[in-house]
Amino acid sequence: MNRASTDRCFLYACSGNPVKRQWCGHRGKVDNCQVGVFMGYVSAHDHALLDFRLSLPAEWARDEQRRQACHVPLEVRYHTRHEQCLEMLDAWGKQVPHGWVTGDDEFGRHTRFRQALRERGERYVLGVPCTTMMRDLEAPRPEYSGRGRRPKAPWQSVTDWRKALHPTAWRRLTVRDGEKGPVVIEMVKRRVQTRIEHKRTGPHEWLVVTRRPLTDDRTLEPRASRDATDQDEHHRYHYYLTPTGVSAAQLQEPSLDELARVIKAGACIEASFKRGKGEVGMDEYQVRTWHGWHHHMALSLMAVWFLIGETHQGQQVTPALTLPQVRYGLSVLLLEVYCAPGIDYICRHVHRQLMRNELARFYHHRTRKCMPPRKLRRDIQ
């Protein structure tokens, strides 16, 4: 698999607005919400939401009165969120080139979902809770007493295993150059054996543990559940599992650099939510029907796709151009009949925003003692 395909990932996350008390992955708790399951896509060029499903609660699916009030089609039946993710993966997997599937602990904690991905030949990096039980396959075996079976490494939680690590085991990697300086991650990887339902022995997988300082607030991360992470007095830790083999075939051991890119790419799903809600009003609706929700989400995603296309076209001339600036220019042009600001006014305003963004970006890089690449043409600096 080439580097171009490994840099392209499918992302899964849940987001919701108030309707019913249920688990919402975006909020990290049980709350009164209407949950949608979203599939995102990220490449080296950009990220966007690709598909969506409305999560229908089981009691609502069996309640004919509620189904009629919300105009739920007769063919719609109850599906778990993991089944909805697999349905979207089956629909898009062969059409869109990708190398990885990633998601938070809401998806990774379910061993059947990970098994379904392996059966489909998909490589994944899924978050798991800090209470996940594992056996270190690279640790030295206990001394053999000469009787019975040879002992294996003991079962322990990933948190206990992480606490026993030597400080020199952590690797510090620079993933990419961010807007506020280099994106850095510290991580460690180990081949482990996990457990599945009913405490049965599971498959061999790679355990990946990342950490970041508690003072680092630059990373845009999903609001995980309470047991998805843990922390000490200096760092916060996240835990992930990735397969050693899929579809009865062994996989080449992934490098730490590749895993770091995939883990950091997973945060793009939250950036996609933020972009959709901030630029096109993806969360600004009060619909209570099945078709109304799907119509609103479809129009929101199409609006974001249009803005992304226009932004990339404009960046061929001005690489520092951002999607909010494109949205502002288009919105003013649509209102030109009423307020008549003129093209010159729009250009001056966008120019001021470009200069302000560039000064802020240079300041963040200077505080970290590194020079950022220039993104503005000389004639507008």
The overall average pLDDT reported for the chain is 83
Q: What is the pTM of this model?
A: 0.83
Examine the domain organization and report whether 226 and 325 are in the same domain: no
Output the DSSP codes for 58-79: HHHHH-HHHHHHTT--TT----
In a domain, 186, yes or no: yes
Parallel, antiparallel or unpaired: strands 124-127 and 100-103: parallel
User: Which CATH number goes with the domain that contains 47?
Assistant: 3.90.350
What is the average pLDDT across 212-220? 71
Examine the domain organization and report whether 310 and 170 are in the same domain: no
Examine the domain organization and report whether 364 and 329 are in the same domain: yes
Residue 18 scores a pLDDT above 50: no
In a domain, 144, yes or no: yes
Lowest mean pLDDT among 275-279, 290-294, 344-348: 344-348
In a domain, 351, yes or no: yes
Higher pLDDT, 363 or 18: 363
Lowest mean pLDDT among 21-35, 169-183, 291-305, 345-359: 21-35
pLDDT the model gives residue 38:
94
Residue 127 scores a pLDDT above 70: yes
In a domain, 284, yes or no: no
Q: How confident is the model at residue 338 (pLDDT cuts 50, 70, 90)?
A: low
Residue 16 scores a pLDDT above 60: no
Examine the domain organization and report whether 204 and 265 are in the same domain: yes
pLDDT > 90 in the chain, percent: 40
Examine the domain organization and report whether 246 and 366 are in the same domain: no
Examine the domain organization and report whether 21 and 141 are in the same domain: yes
pLDDT > 70 in the chain, percent: 83
Examine the domain organization and report whether 309 and 224 are in the same domain: no
In a domain, 272, yes or no: yes
Examine the domain organization and report whether 261 and 294 are in the same domain: no
What is the average pLDDT across 96-123? 92
In a domain, 12, yes or no: yes
Query: How many Cβ atoms are within 10 Å of 178's Cβ, its own excluded?
Result: 17
Interval 48-65: pLDDT, tens: 999 999 988 888 888 899
Query: What is the domain count for the chain?
Result: 2
Question: What is the rounded distance in angstroms from the CA atom of residue 125 to the CA atom of residue 111?
Answer: 13
Examine the domain organization and report whether 296 and 245 are in the same domain: no
Output the DSSP codes for 345-367: HHHHHHHHHHHHHHHHHHHHHHH
In whole angstroms, how large is the CA radius of gyration of the chain?
23
Examine the domain organization and report whether 185 and 326 are in the same domain: no
Question: What is the rounded distance in angstroms from the CA atom of residue 193 to the CA atom of residue 184?
Answer: 28
What is the average pLDDT across 198-219? 84
Phi/psi for 205 (5° steps) reads -140, 165
Lowest mean pLDDT among 5-9, 59-63, 231-235, 346-350: 5-9
In a domain, 285, yes or no: no
Last residue of a domain, one of 279, 301, 318: 279
Most confident of 228-232, 308-312, 343-347: 308-312
In a domain, 198, yes or no: yes
Structural domain harbouring 332: 290-380
Question: What is the rounded distance in angstroms from the CA atom of residue 318 to the CA atom of residue 375?
Answer: 7
Question: What is the rounded distance in angstroms from the CA atom of residue 97 to the CA atom of residue 32?
Answer: 37
Examine the domain organization and report whether 87 and 142 are in the same domain: yes
Beta strands in the chain, from DSSP E residues, in sequence order: 9-24, 29-42, 47-54, 100-103, 124-127, 133-136, 156-157, 171-178, 181-195, 201-213, 229-231, 235-243, 245-246, 249-250
pLDDT the model gives residue 101:
94
The residue to which tokens 């688990």 are assigned: 23
The two most distant CA atoms of the chain are separated, in Å, by 90
Q: How many residues does the chain have?
A: 381
Last residue of a domain, one of 279, 302, 328: 279
Examine the domain organization and report whether 266 and 337 are in the same domain: no
Interval 165-179: pLDDT, tens: 999 999 999 888 776
